[in-house]
Structure 1
Amino acid sequence: MARALSQDLRDRVVSSIESGLSCRRAAARFGVGVATAIRWRQLALRHGRAIAKPQGGDRLSGRIEAQAGFILALVEEQGDITLAEIQEKLAEHGTPVGIGTVWRFFARHRITRKKRPGTLSSRTAPTS
């Protein structure tokens, strides 16, 4: 996704259109696309100013974060519960999410789900 163009550029394009320049000429003058100049003009007419919408960020984790207490209670109640089982319980609870969403929830909360202990190191001398 491309970066949003500066607010200063948006304001200059819109003000030049308002002062009588056509959208095509304003677009050529400031080096933006014709459709962009038209869209900015429409935004300015509708909202008073052509302001860019917020970009990026996580907009979806709020659904699973709202269930944090439920998930943590499941983990505490049944220590060896798998991510797939948690996903299933969330779906039953009315919050269907993907397995990756559950995994990212645990990563954000720094909860590890290792099911077996690590292997012991060898007692023999290292080979060269």
Structure 2
Amino acid sequence: MTAPLSNDLRKRVVLAIEAGESCRSVASRFGVSVSAAVKWSQRYRATGSVAPGKMGGHRKRILEPHRAFIIERINQTSHLTLHGLKDELAARGVKVSHDTVWKFLRREGLSFKKNTVRP
């Protein structure tokens, strides 16, 4: 994913379009795509700003509200598997993959070692 273009360039493009020049001619003059010029002018008309919107972001963790339940189940049952835990979560209405469960456990520092004496 590329970084957004500078606000200075965006402002110059929008000001040229507001002055009456066509989006195509402004885009070729400033070396940007026509769609970018159109979108920037639309954004300016809608919000009054040419600043780019938020890029990316973080997904909220699905299993975080169920942390206490997961830790309790691991402490109660020593023979619990990832798929078994996934099925128990599905019974509670949380549909996740076993990979999601694994990543949660790894992030929390929990493991499924059945024999803690062996290395």
Q: TM-score, normalised by structure 2?
A: 0.80
Aligned pairs for 1:72-91 within 5 A: 72-91=71-90
Offset at 1:37?
Answer: 0.9
Work out whether residues 78 and 114 of structure 2, in 8 Å CA contact, stay in contact via their aligned partners in 1: no
Structure 2 distance, partners of 1:32, 1:60, is 35
Aligned to 1:124: none
Tell me the secondary structure at the aligned position of residue 90 of structure 2.
helix
Indicate yes or no: 2:11 matched with 1:11. Answer: yes
Identity of aligned pairs, percent? 38
Structure 2 distance, partners of 1:10, 1:70, is 50
Tell me the secondary structure at the aligned position of residue 32 of structure 1.
coil
Structure 2 distance, partners of 1:31, 1:87, is 52
**Structure 1 residues 101, 73: closer, same or farther in 2, change over 3 A?**
same
**Unaligned segments of structure 1, at least 5 residues:** 119-128
Offset at 1:60?
Answer: 4.4
Aligned amino acid, residue 76 of structure 2: E
Structure 2 distance, partners of 1:78, 1:10, is 59
Aligned pairs for 1:1-128 within 5 A: 1-61=1-61, 63-116=62-115, 117-118=118-119
Tell me the secondary structure at the aligned position of residue 69 of structure 1.
helix
Tell me the secondary structure at the aligned position of residue 67 of structure 1.
helix
Aligned to 1:125: none
Aligned amino acid, residue 97 of structure 2: G
Aligned to 1:123: none
Q: TM-score, normalised by structure 1?
A: 0.75
Offset at 1:112?
Answer: 2.7
- Number of paired residues? 117
Stretches of 4+ moved more than 6 A in 1? Answer: none
Deviation per CA, 1:10-66: give whole Å up to 9, x if none: 2332222222222112211221110111111112212222332322343142x2222
